[in-house]
Structure 1
Amino acid sequence: MKKIKEIFTRVKELQHTDNEDITDLIWPLICYSPKFPPRLPQQQLLDESAPFTLEVNDLHFSHSILKFNGFTWGNGSRKVLITHGWSSKGADFIDLITALRTIDDLQIIAFDAPGNGSSDGELSNLLLFVEAVKAVIYTYGAPDVMIGHSLGVMANTLAIKETGIKPSLLINITPMVNLKENFIATMNNADVPQAAQDKFFESFNKIFDVPTSYFNLADIYKADIAQKHWLAYDREDKMAPFSYTQELLNRHAAITSKEYPDATHERIIKDPRLIADVLELVKNKQ
């Protein structure tokens, strides 16, 4: 957390400077994900798992192979894959994983995306999340249930599209719908001038060979990517504004949704109401 504060302060110091170097500072502002070690109960949960390590190729930042860590619980025939959001890790789903372990015949899979949690990587990005999901799918087989939170929702959606799998149940929790608008909000919060923002987006387009506007879940989402679609949201979510979620729901009638008032973007994955509902959804998909 100290490092992201230093990055934020440095960007604000240069807010009135027409300097090319500010673009280099915006990248870590956007793509540095603070890593938080597991708390004792989380570590105890991890100690009960079967850990694994897989690799992804970081084509855009380090230009190297990154190792990322994952964990499984159970050896059931039905697979549940959980994909965390930004600045998070697999163990942050401790309450949901603990609840899911009460269901027979499940194998629960979670991981720390590159640049997050215990995994390699100084900077992270959505495509590294996607590559990690794909690596898990290729190693363990197509999941019956895929659960994503925040950026993890978009990662799951893109991974499904690129692998051609079709889960029986897709659970989306407070999804990050419009990546570009999230970037803009982050830069505005650091008082990044418009000219510098424009330069950053030009740099993004050049590095990733695709505009940030491509990463809009309402555009990417397809009705046939899963048999059943379910989405959880908090209308007052400050991280993923409901207006974008509403656009997603309006354009994709196949998605069943439920509001969790006062859950908040980060704490919703611990909310007892959500955990009870997800448990029931997974049970009913047996």
Structure 2
Amino acid sequence: MKKFKTIFNQVKALEGTETPDLINLLWQLIYYSPKMPVRLQQQQLLDEAKAFTLEVDDLHFAKSNLKFNGFIWGEGSRKILVTHGWGSKAADFSELITSLKSLPNTQIIAFDAPGNGSSDRELSNLILFAKAATAIIKTYGVPDVMIGHSLGAMANAVAIKDTSIEPELLISITPLINLRENFVATLNAADVSPEVQAKFFADFEQLFEMKASDFIMDKVYPTELIHRHWLAFDPEDKVAPVGYLKAFIDLHPEIETKAYENRGHDRIIKDDALIADILALIA
């Protein structure tokens, strides 16, 4: 988190003036994923897991294969895949994973996406999150339940679409719906001028060969492959504004939703009521 604040302050100090230094910093501002240390309780949970390492290809930043780390608890036949959000890691789900371990006949798989937690590199993106989830599915089999938080919820949708799997249950917690608007909010907070933002998005389109506006849930959501989707949100979420969520839900009224007031975008994954509801859904 300290490095992210440094990058943010450096961008603000340039006062929106278009320079090579500023353009380079903007890529770090948007794609550097802050890393927080693992707490003792979290490390104890990781120590109980069977650790594994897989690879994905990073075609845009590293232009090489990246290793990422994952963790497995249990040997049951019912698989649960947990995908964390931006600037997070598998260990941040310690409360939920500990509770899931109490369910019979389950195997829980979580991972640190490339550029996050204990995994390689510093820069990350949605594509790498989704590729990591896809690599796990291809290696360990189709999960019966997929749980995703924030960016991880969108990554799960992309992975389902890319693999054509049909999970029994998809659970999304405070999902990001419109990545471009999240980028704009970050750039605005750093006082980046509209002209420089336009240059950033033009560079984005050239690098990824797609527009930032394509990174929205509406365009990646594999409706025909999802049998049941349960979605938890905080009506006052500032990171994933409820207006974008409502527009998405209006397109997909079959999605079951539940509001958890005053939980916060990140803290919600530790909430006792949410965890109890997830256990009931899976059980």
Length-normalised TM-score, structure 2: 0.98
SS at match of 1:33: coil
Partner residue in 2 for 1:206: 206
Partner residue in 2 for 1:55: 55
> What does 1:185-200 correspond to in 2, within 5 Å?
185-200=185-200
- The alignment status of 1:103 with 2:103, answered yes or no, reads yes
Tell me, yes or no, if the aligned pair for 1:12 and 1:190 is still in contact at 8 Å. yes
Partner residue in 2 for 1:169: 169
- The alignment status of 1:79 with 2:79, answered yes or no, reads yes
Partner residue in 2 for 1:270: 270
Structure 1 residue 6: Cα displacement: 1.3
In 2: Cα distance, 1:100 partner to 1:250 partner: 31
Partner residue in 1 for 2:215: 215
SS at match of 1:257: strand
Segments of structure 2 that go 5 or more residues without pairing to the other structure are none
Partner residue in 1 for 2:30: 30
> What does 1:1-286 correspond to in 2, within 5 Å?
1-283=1-283
Segments of structure 1 that go 5 or more residues without pairing to the other structure are none
Structure 1 residue 225: Cα displacement: 2.2
RMSD: 0.8
In 2: Cα distance, 1:223 partner to 1:5 partner: 38
SS at match of 1:245: helix
Structure 1 residue 4: Cα displacement: 0.9
| Letter of the structure 1 residue corresponding to residue 191 of structure 2 | D
| Letter of the structure 2 residue corresponding to residue 94 of structure 1 | S
Tell me, yes or no, if the aligned pair for 1:223 and 1:254 is still in contact at 8 Å. no
Deviations 1:91-150 (A, max 9, x none): 100111011111010000000000000000120111000110000001100100000000
In 2: Cα distance, 1:217 partner to 1:16 partner: 30
In 1: Cα distance, 2:225 partner to 2:121 partner: 30
Structure 1 residue 223: Cα displacement: 2.5
Poorly superposed stretches of 4+, deviation over 6 Å: none
| Letter of the structure 1 residue corresponding to residue 45 of structure 2 | L
State the number of aligned residues. Answer: 283
Tell me, yes or no, if the aligned pair for 2:83 and 2:133 is still in contact at 8 Å. yes
When residues 151 and 16 of structure 1 are mapped into structure 2, their CA distance, relative to the original with a 3 A threshold, is closer
Tell me, yes or no, if the aligned pair for 1:83 and 1:111 is still in contact at 8 Å. yes
In 2: Cα distance, 1:2 partner to 1:205 partner: 29
SS at match of 2:41: helix
Tell me, yes or no, if the aligned pair for 2:4 and 2:32 is still in contact at 8 Å. yes
- The percentage of counterpart residues that share the same residue type is 58
In 2: Cα distance, 1:143 partner to 1:195 partner: 44
In 2: Cα distance, 1:241 partner to 1:4 partner: 22
Deviations 1:36-71 (A, max 9, x none): 121000000000000000011111001111110000
Tell me, yes or no, if the aligned pair for 2:16 and 2:196 is still in contact at 8 Å. no
